[in-house]
Amino acid sequence: MKKRYLVFTDLDGTLLNHQDYSFAPAKEALALLKYRSIPLIIATSKTFSEVVVLQKELGMRQPFIVENGAGIFVPSESVLAREMAFKEEWIKFSKAHSYTELRLFFTHMKRSYSIKGFGDMSVDEVIQHTGLPREESLNAMKRDFSEPFLMQDERELEALKKEANEEGFDIVKGGRFYHLVSLLQDKANAMLTLAHMYEEYYNQKCTKIALGDSANDFTMIKKADIGVLVPLYDGSFSAIGNADIKRADYPGPKGWNSSILEIFDGL
């Protein structure tokens, strides 16, 4: 029986360069995955609108995970959607709090903590903090399930996280921002859900490969069959503990490229 593989990847600082968001150094490995018909599943803190645009640039339409595991989107033509009687172009799966609920809680917390979210920022401020062009910044502000935010005093983090947990929310750290999300929402759970859908369709186990660089990628990397930690843009690694994982040789898409090529050279 043919072995099945699924590649799950973070974007910023992993498949995309931290400074200019380019994936050019990863083109060889991207071509390999396409040639071998291996699904490349984006798992990101970015929004639906951002990922749709990026997938067009990558020349693909695959299921993907948004806003740190809060939502899964499956294109209607995917093998995973063949049994579903949906007419939408993209089929959405989510059990997360709505953005309205997140903003209500976040607004309440602003009275006690030095935090500022995307919902409090102008598009020019988002451009300043992300380095994204205007159109991409507008897409980044189209949140459905999470609120990226800046924290002026990180000593407040523990207390904020405790209050968030008590109300059914959580705080996760990404490459540039903290993110207010639903409790128990993470990339790992979304990865396992999508992997199960593929395994049901193919009626066999799929080998899960996951790559990421930040704290919000750790559970996904650890629960994959093959996990790869990509170094940060300065060459250091996020502290992930004694997990049985691979470590990429280079930051960003260059390290992503070499890791994928090395993995599939041995498979």
Let me know: does 66 contact 90? Beta carbons within 8 Å.
no
Amino acid at 4: R
Ranges of H-type helices in the chain: 27-35, 48-58, 99-109, 123-130, 134-140, 157-166, 187-202, 218-223, 252-265
Q: Which residues pair with residue 71 across a beta bridge?
A: 66
Task: List the structure tokens of 221.
Answer: 């990397």
Is 10 designated active site?
A: yes
User: How many Å apart are CA 253 and CA 35, to the nearest integer?
Assistant: 19
Let me know: does 118 contact 140? Beta carbons within 8 Å.
yes
Angle, CA of 5, 173 and 91, to the nearest 5°: 45
Catalytic residue from among 10, 12, 170, 217: 10
User: How many Å apart are CA 230 and CA 210, to the nearest integer?
Assistant: 10
Cα–chain-centroid distance for residue 131? 18
Amino acid at 182: S
Nearest to 171 by CA among 210, 125, 216: 216
The half-sphere exposure of 209 on its side-chain side, counting CA atoms within 13 A, is: 18
Residues annotated as catalytic are 10
